[in-house]
Each structure stands twice: as C-alpha cells, then as structure tokens.
C-alpha cells in the first residue's frame, strides 16, 4: 500500500496562487465583455421580451384597481435582465433599447389590466371579445383614458432608467479597475 504525502503551501505560495486566480478571473471578465455582440437590434428584441413579461405583472396589478405605476420599475428590471441575456454590449445603447422597450410595453400592460378586469367581471364576461376588439380598434381612446396610469408608469420607468445608467457606469468602472490592475501586474513581472 502506498503512502500519501500531504504537502502544504507556504504563505507566499498561497498568495501567489490567489493572485493567479484573481488575474485569471479579471482576464476572463474583460474578454467576455469585449467579445459581446454589437447587434443592438437583437438586444432591443431581448429587452422588449423582458419588458412585455414585466408588463404582464403590471397588468395584473392594474386589474385589481391599484395604480400599477410602481410596477414600471419591474418592467425596466425585466427589460434590462433580458437585454443582458442576449450577450449584446452593455453601453449607453443598452439604456436606449431598454427605455424604448418599456415605452412600448407599458400600454400593453395597461391593456392587459383592462382585459383582466373585464374577464373578472361576471356581468360583462360575455362581452369580453367585443371589448378587446373595441380597444384594439380604438387604441388612441384607450390611451387617453389610461393616461394618468401611463404617465406614472413612465415616471417609474425613468427612475428605473437612472438605475440602468448607474449599473452601466459601475460596470465600466469595474472593468477599468480590472484592466489597470492587470496592467500594473504585467509591469511588475
């Protein structure tokens, strides 16, 4: 039977191993960010799909008679995460894609809320398809009836947009710090 020997790293060796792992992680993050696609059209569609998912929640809240504007933050959050999932570059264009997707999704959420309210009302459930056709044909009138909710939803979308800007700046700063740390390490070698 063989005897196994256990070797221990000295503190200097442990420190060097930790530094190698950190450099590997930093290079991996920087390379991943640089290899992202520049297809902002695809990023917009990702953001729109996330915003529409958030708009469903917005509509569900709206259908309960509650002002659903705070759900505008969730719409922005979902749009931002869906944009990131598309692996498109995260820069100021991300903000434009996310905000445009939210601007398009909030009226849909408002419409979903109205439809859910109609479906929940037993007295008018037989007229639901007429209601849907009416609002599709008269969407402008629907928007004017829902303008307070939409304006408040857009205010919360703008607040969420500010958060997106902060996240982009924080991510850019983190990448710059990583690049500086790698450059300093390469100078000392």
Per-position DSSP letters for 135-183, written without gaps between them: HHHTHHHHHHHTHHHHHHHHHHHHHHHHHHHHHHHHHHHHHHHHHHHHH
Q: Which pTM was predicted?
A: 0.71
Q: List the chain domain ranges.
A: 11-188
179 contacts 23 by C-beta, under 8 angstroms: no
80 contacts 167 by C-beta, under 8 angstroms: yes
C-alpha span between 98 and 17 (Å, rounded): 41
91 contacts 169 by C-beta, under 8 angstroms: no
- Using pLDDT thresholds of 50, 70 and 90, give the confidence band for residue 183: confident
Question: What is 7-59 written as a DSSP string?
Answer: ----HHHHHHHHHHHHHHHHHHHHHHHHTSB--HHHHHHHHHHHHHHHHHHHH
Better-scored residue on pLDDT, 66 or 75: 75
pLDDT digits (tens, 9 = 90+) for 86-104: 888 877 888 888 889 988 9
116 contacts 124 by C-beta, under 8 angstroms: no
Report the SS3 class of residue 86: coil
Mean pLDDT lowest among 25-29, 41-45, 68-72: 68-72
Q: How far apart are the first and last CA of the chain?
A: 44
Inform me whether the pLDDT recorded for 138 exceeds 80. no
Better-scored residue on pLDDT, 82 or 37: 82
- Using pLDDT thresholds of 50, 70 and 90, give the confidence band for residue 2: low
C-alpha span between 107 and 29 (Å, rounded): 37
Q: What pLDDT was estimated at residue 49?
A: 92
Inform me whether the pLDDT recorded for 60 exceeds 80. yes
Q: What is the mean pLDDT of the chain?
A: 79
Inform me whether the pLDDT recorded for 81 exceeds 60. yes
Give the Cβ contact number of residue 141 at 10 Å.
11
Q: What is the mean pLDDT of residues 112-123?
A: 71
C-alpha span between 13 and 10 (Å, rounded): 5
Q: How far is CA 180 from the centre of its chain?
A: 28
Better-scored residue on pLDDT, 122 or 19: 19
- Using pLDDT thresholds of 50, 70 and 90, give the confidence band for residue 45: very high
Using a pLDDT cut of 70, give the percent of the chain over it: 79
**CA of 16: how far to CAs of 8, 10, 12, 187, in Å?**
14, 10, 6, 16
C-alpha span between 173 and 188 (Å, rounded): 23
């Amino acid at each position: 039977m063989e005897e196994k020997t256990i070797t221990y790293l000295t503190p200097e060796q442990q420190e060097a191993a930790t530094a190698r792992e950190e450099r590997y992680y930093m290079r991996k993050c920087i390379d991943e960010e640089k290899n992202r696609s520049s297809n902002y059209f695809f990023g917009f569609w990702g953001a729109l799909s996330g915003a529409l998912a958030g708009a469903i929640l917005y509509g569900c809240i709206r259908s309960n008679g509650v002002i659903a504007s705070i759900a505008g933050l969730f719409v922005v959050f979902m749009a931002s995460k869906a944009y990131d999932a598309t692996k498109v570059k995260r820069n100021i264009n991300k903000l434009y894609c996310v905000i445009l997707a939210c601007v398009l999704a909030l009226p849909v959420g408002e419409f979903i809320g109205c439809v859910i309210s109609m479906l929940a009302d037993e007295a008018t459930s037989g007229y639901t398809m007429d209601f849907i056709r009416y609002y599709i044909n008269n969407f402008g009138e629907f928007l004017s009836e829902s303008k307070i909710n939409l304006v408040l939803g857009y205010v919360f979308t703008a607040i969420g947009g500010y958060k997106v800007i902060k996240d982009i700046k924080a991510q850019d700063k983190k990448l710059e710090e990583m690049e500086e740390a790698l450059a300093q390490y390469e100078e000392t070698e």
